[in-house]
Amino acid sequence: MTVAVSLRAVSRHFGAVKALDAVDLDIEAGEFFAMLGPSGSGKTTCLRLIAGFEQPTSGHIEIFGERVEGVPPYRRSVNTVFQDYALFPHMNVIENVAYSLMLRKVPKAERLKTAEAALDLVQLGGYGARRPGQLSGGQRQRVALARAIVNKPKVLLLDEPLGALDLKLRESMQEELKSLQKRLGITFVFVTHDQGEALSMADRVAVFSDGRIRQVGTPEDIYQRPDTPFVADFVGSSNVLPPDLVERLAGVRRFASLRPEAIRLGGEARLTGTVVARSYLGPVTRLAIEAVGLKLHAIVPSGADLPGEGDTIGLGFDSVALHLMGTEP
Amino acid sequence: MRSDGDRAPLLLRLAAAGGLVYLLAPLAIIFVYAFTTEEKSFVWPPPGLTLKWFAVAWARPDISAALLLSLQVAAVATALALVLGTLTAAAVSRTRFFGRETISLLVILPIALPGIITGIALRSAFSTFSIPFSFWTIVLGHATFCIVVVYNNAVARFRRTSASLVEASMDLGADGFQTFRHVILPNIGTALLAGGMLAFALSFDEVIVTTFTAGQQQTLPLWMLEELIRPRQRPVTNVVAMFVVAATFLPILAAFYLTRGGDEIAGSGK
C-alpha cells in the first residue's frame, strides 16, 4: 500500500500553545480518512499543515514520498474544501471551478469543458453562469467540491465539509462524498467533530485531543475497542468505569469502557442504580442512571415496561462487553 | 402608532427645510455672484447677469497654473496614499502582531489632528532637515491625510472579505501576485476607488496644511484665499469656486455610491 500523507514527529506550536505535539500519522493512498476530535484538539491544524497554510515547528511531512516542509500551498498537489467554502464572490460558478485551470494557462475552451465536467460530477451541470450568492448552502458546498477536484489532486482535504448543512442534506451528502471518493480514487482526508460522521464515512479514523493523536483505527476499532477513556467517551459517549470498580467487576485494576447499548435491564444484575432521567429517542430510550457514585447511560429498546425516574433497577451486561483499557485516565 | 402613513409632523418638516436652507443658501449665493455684472463688490441683488467671467477665468494664466498644480498634487498624493494605505490596511487586518492596535490608531491620527498642527509639524520637520519647499513638500503634507482615507476604506473592506479566500486561491495554485490580481484586487477594488476619490477631493481643496508646506507656489484654494484678500475681478473667484465644488462634490458622490450596499461578507457563503 502506498502512503499518501506521512507525518513524522510533527509539532506546531503557537507560542506556548502546542496545537499539535509530536504527531506520527500515515494516511494510505485511496483511503477515506477522518480526523476526529473536539475543537482545539489539533485536527484542523493538522489539516492546514498538510495543505501548506501552516508550517510545522518541527518534524517532517511527506506527500507521496516528497518532503513538503517549506513548500507553499500553490506547489502542492493537494486541494482543500473550506469550511466556509471560500467561493470567490466576484466570479460565477464556472469561473470559480476553472480558477486553477486558468492559472495553469489551460486554453479557454478546454478549461470550460473540464470545469463543466467537474460540475456534472457534483450534479450541478448547467449552473455555471450563476453567482455563488445565488446558490443554496448545499449547492455552494458542491461548487467548492468541484473546484477542489477539477485539478485531480492527489489528496483532497475537507475541513468540516458538512458542518454548515442541515441534517437531511448532511446525510445525503455523506453518501455522495463516499461514492465520489470511490469513483475518483483520490485520497480524502476530512476533519470533523461529529463522531457519527467520522464512523459512517471513513475507512479509518484518527482521534485527536490536546494536540495529540489518541488512537488510529477503523471505525469498529475506535468504537468497540477504544484505547483510552477519552476515546471511549468522545466516540459514542461510552460509560467509562474507574479502575477500582473494574477490579471489583472483572478482577483487573484498569479503566474499562461499557457501551450504553450493552447494558440490559433485568437478567442477572451486576450493578444497581437509580434512574435520574429518561429520554425517548424513538426506537430506543436513553436512561441516565446513578449507580455506585457514577452517572451511567443505558440505551434500551423502547417499550411499555421501562422504569421511570426515581426507580431503582438492576443493570446487567455480558463480561465481553466490558472493554478493558489502560490505567491512565 | 402612526395613523397617517409615514409623514413627519409639520414642525419637523419645517425644521428640516430650515436646516437645508441654512446649509445651501450661502452656496447658492456664491453661484449667483459668478454671473453678476458688478465686479468691484458684491451687491444684492446683482444689477445684471453675464457669462463673461467664465471666459475671463478661462483666459487667466494664474488660474490655470494654480488649477494644474492642484490637480497634480491631488493625483500624486492620492497615488501615494493608495499604495501605502492599502498595504497598511492589509498588514493590520490580515496579520496579528505586537502593537497592531497602536499602529491602527497612529495611522488614523493625522485626520483627527487639527490641520494647523500637521502643518506646523511638517514645516518644522522640513526646515530641520533643510528640505526646500517644493511640489513634493505639498504632496507629502497632503499624503498624511489621504493615506487615512484610503486606509479606512480598505480596512473596512478587508474586514468584510473572508480570509479563506486568499487561502483558497493559494490552494488552487496561485502565488502571492496572482492571488492579489485575481482575488484581492477585484474584492477591494471599489473600496480603493472610493477611498482614492475621497482622498483626491480632500487634497484638492486643502488650505491649512498647504499654507505651511507650499513655498511660492499656489494651489487653487490658496489662489482663492488670496483673491478674497486682494480682489481683482471678484466674480472670477466665484466661477473658480463653482468649479471646485463640482470637482470635489462629484468624486465624493461617486465614492458614496460605490461603497454603498454590499453589506454581505464577501466569500463567507453559508
CA-nearest residue to A78 within chain B is B171
d(CA A80, CA A189) in angstroms, rounded, equals 9
pLDDT at B262: 47
Q: Where are the domains of chain A?
A: 3-226, 237-324
Q: Kindly report the nearest CA distance between residue A53 and chain B, in angstroms.
A: 7
Decide if A234 touches B, using CB distance below 8 A: no
Decide if A133 touches B, using CB distance below 8 A: yes
Closest CA to A239 of A298, A292, A196: A298
Q: Which residues contact B231 (CB under 8 A, 6 or more apart)?
A: B237
Query: How is residue A203 written as a grid cell?
Result: 475507512
Instruction: Give tens-digit pLDDT for A169-212.
Output: 888 888 889 999 999 999 999 999 988 889 989 999 999 999 99
DSSP A321: G
| Domain boundaries, position B170 | 61-259
pLDDT at A164: 74
d(CA B261, CA B255) in angstroms, rounded, equals 12
CA-nearest residue to B170 within chain A is A74
Does B194 have pLDDT greater than 90?
no
Does A230 have pLDDT greater than 60?
yes
Q: Is residue B77 in a domain?
A: yes
Q: What average pLDDT score do residues A302-317 get?
A: 86
Between A173 and B232, whose confidence is greater?
A173
Instruction: Give the total number of structural domains in chain B.
Output: 1
pLDDT at A44: 93
Strands A204-209, A32-36: pairing kind: parallel
CATH number for position B239: 1.10.3720.10
- pLDDT band for B14, please (50, 70, 90 cuts): very high
Q: Which of B162, B171, B270 sits opposite A73 (nearest CB)?
A: B171
d(CA A228, CA A214) in angstroms, rounded, equals 7
Instruction: Give tens-digit pLDDT for B159-178.
Output: 888 788 999 999 999 998 99
Does B4 have pLDDT greater than 80?
no
Which long-range contacts does B48-55 make (Cβ < 8 Å, 24+ apart)?
B53/B233, B53/B235, B53/B236, B53/B238, B53/B239, B54/B239
Q: Is residue B250 in a domain?
A: yes
pLDDT at B261: 53
Q: Which residues numbered 172-201 in B keep a CB inside 8 Å of some CB on A?
A: 172-175, 178, 182-183, 186-187
The residue written with cell numbers 498538510 in the block is A50
Q: Is residue B12 in a domain?
A: no
Q: Kindly report the nearest CA distance between residue A99 and chain B, in angstroms.
A: 7
- pLDDT band for A6, please (50, 70, 90 cuts): very high
Level-2 CATH architecture, domain A3-226:
3-Layer(aba) Sandwich (3.40)
Residue A34 phi/psi, 5-degree rounding, is: -110, 140
Question: Residue A236, by phi and psi: left (phi above 0), alpha (psi -120 to 50) or beta?
Answer: left
pLDDT at B230: 79
Does B260 have pLDDT greater than 70?
no
pLDDT at A207: 95
Decide if A15 touches B, using CB distance below 8 A: no
d(CA B239, CA B250) in angstroms, rounded, equals 17
Q: Is residue B43 in a domain?
A: no
Residue A328 CA: distances (Å) to CA of A57, A131, A324: 28, 53, 12
Q: Where are the alpha helices (DSSP H) in A150-234?
A: 167-184, 195-201, 219-224, 229-234
Level-2 CATH architecture, domain A237-324:
Beta Barrel (2.40)
Q: Is residue B6 in a domain?
A: no
The per-residue b/e assignment along A263-297, b for 16 or more CB within 10 angstroms, e otherwise, is bbbeeeebbebebeebeeeeebbbbbbebeeeebb
Q: Which residues of A touch B172 (CB under 8 A)?
A: 74, 79, 99-100, 103, 147-148, 151
Question: Residue A51, by phi and psi: left (phi above 0), alpha (psi -120 to 50) or beta?
Answer: alpha
What do you get for the CA distance between the two ends of chain B, in Å? 37
Taking an 8 Å cut-off on Cβ atoms, the answer to whether A83 and B172 are in contact is no
Taking an 8 Å cut-off on Cβ atoms, the answer to whether A74 and B171 are in contact is yes
Cis bond upstream, residue B45 (ω within 30): yes
With contact defined as beta carbons under 8 Å apart, do A60 and A26 qualify?
Answer: no
pLDDT at B241: 86
Instruction: Give tens-digit pLDDT for A122-152.
Output: 889 889 899 998 998 889 999 999 999 998 9
Chain pair A-B, CB pairs under 8 angstroms: 84
Q: What average pLDDT score do residues A11-34 get?
A: 93
Q: Which residues contact B167 (CB under 8 A, 6 or more apart)?
A: A51, A53, A73, A80, A82, A86
The per-residue b/e assignment along A114-148, b for 16 or more CB within 10 angstroms, e otherwise, is bbbebbebbebeebbeeebeebeebbbbbbbbbbb
- pLDDT band for A115, please (50, 70, 90 cuts): very high
Closest CA to A213 of A52, A3, A61, A43: A43
- pLDDT band for A251, please (50, 70, 90 cuts): confident
Closest CA to A131 of A81, A96, A85: A96
- Could you give the ipTM of this predicted complex? 0.83
State the pTM of this model: 0.78
CA dihedral (A188, A191, A197, A198) positive or negative: positive
Decide if A165 touches B, using CB distance below 8 A: no
Does A268 have pLDDT greater than 50?
yes
Q: Is residue B121 in a domain?
A: yes
Decide if B165 touches A, using CB distance below 8 A: yes
Does A307 have pLDDT greater than 70?
yes
Does B56 have pLDDT greater than 90?
no
pLDDT at B268: 38
d(CA A284, CA A291) in angstroms, rounded, equals 21
Taking an 8 Å cut-off on Cβ atoms, the answer to whether A74 and B172 are in contact is yes
Residue A280 CA: distances (Å) to CA of A277, A298, A306, B28, B148: 10, 12, 11, 77, 61
CA-nearest residue to B183 within chain A is A88
Taking an 8 Å cut-off on Cβ atoms, the answer to whether A100 and B172 are in contact is yes
Instruction: Give tens-digit pLDDT for A208-226.
Output: 999 999 999 999 999 988 9
pLDDT at B114: 86
Does B2 have pLDDT greater than 60?
no
pLDDT at B270: 35
The residue written with cell numbers 507656489 in the block is B217
CA-nearest residue to A156 within chain B is B171
Query: How is residue A35 written as a grid cell?
Result: 480526523
Does B232 have pLDDT greater than 90?
no
